[in-house]
Structure 1
């Protein structure tokens, strides 16, 4: 459907996301985390490693995260840096991701390892609120179908049901 709307496929990748936090889970409790991500880019046949720290800024209408990320050459060196700061590996999550660009909006479709998240989900990232709402409707949804919750909040709600 995205291709029919004129979106362009920009990513197809396998990922391993290693999530780090302090032993008291201070980052996750404050809706943030540290991550080292391994990416196997299927389209370009390349491998990349990224070191990232995310922090939730707002969750009012949309989820707004502060994200600081850099590409690293060596997965182990990134791990050593996080451990030197007192962080420890909390979990390792494998996922498959396809990403599309619709005008200025990035659409990411994730299929996670079922032990982490048993359902696929879609995330829309945009600085243009009108375009975001337009795309939600073009995909057959309404804004009432969307959420600004983190994946951890969604998973916790699903476990309760």
Structure 2
């Protein structure tokens, strides 16, 4: 699946959620996530592939459903908008997958905990994210769109300052803040 997204930094999540609701956005879900990043000791996936491998455990606070997903996310462009190829598969046993990956030379490099509230408005997805303080103590919003024109319209509609828009990954943001 191809994904076009940006992060909006330096925002108040409650204020942004109020804006989205006042514009008629539809709540998709509220989640508690455990994100487990995996790489080799040489950081092959991140360093050589400009990608990351993740196991995400998602628990919906609305439905109480829990889901485990293995994802390989490959960055293919960062000019103006972050473009990724995302390959996902549901898994049933996190420990078994981790054991398989470890036997292949891939290990858990970081585990982070995130609260996410997601909305849809005008075919765009908005994820309001708050990580645990050790992972990334600054809240942000991800906007996922179908094309750059749609992003421009949303930025204007929500009155988002251009300097708050980032195409950086969470790993890059963590490096910037010396959180690695």
- TM-score w.r.t. the length of structure 1 is 0.91
Range 75-84 or range 108-117, more displaced: 75-84
Aligned-residue CA RMSD (Å):
1.6
Q: Which runs of 4+ in 1 moved over 3 A?
A: none
- Note the residue ranges of structure 1 that are not aligned, 5 or more in a row: none
The match for 1:8 is: 26
For the 8 Å contact 1:104–1:128, the answer to whether it is kept is: no
**Shift in alpha-carbon separation, 1:12–1:63, aligned structure 2, 3 A:** same
Paired residue for 1:51, among 70, 74, 85? 70
Indicate the structure whose relative CO is greater, using CA pairs within 8 Å and at least 6 residues apart. Answer: 2
For the 8 Å contact 1:36–1:78, the answer to whether it is kept is: no
Secondary structure, counterpart of 1:54 in structure 2:
strand
Secondary structure, counterpart of 1:3 in structure 2:
helix
1:31 Cα deviation from its structure 2 partner: 2.8
1:58 Cα deviation from its structure 2 partner: 0.8
Paired residue for 1:25, among 17, 22, 43? 43
Q: For this pair of structures, how many residues does the alignment match?
A: 160
Range 35-44 or range 135-144, more displaced: 135-144
**Shift in alpha-carbon separation, 1:6–1:94, aligned structure 2, 3 A:** same
Matched residues in 2 for 1:155 and 1:137: separation? 28
Q: Is 1:60 matched with 2:71?
A: no
The match for 2:169 is: 150
Paired residue for 2:94, among 72, 75, 87? 75
The match for 1:94 is: 113
Matched residues in 2 for 1:99 and 1:135: separation? 16
Paired residue for 1:132, among 139, 148, 151? 151
Matched residues in 1 for 2:60 and 2:103: separation? 29
- TM-score w.r.t. the length of structure 2 is 0.82
Matched residues in 2 for 1:85 and 1:127: separation? 36
1:139 Cα deviation from its structure 2 partner: 1.9
- Note the residue ranges of structure 2 that are not aligned, 5 or more in a row: 1-18
Matched residues in 1 for 2:171 and 2:70: separation? 20
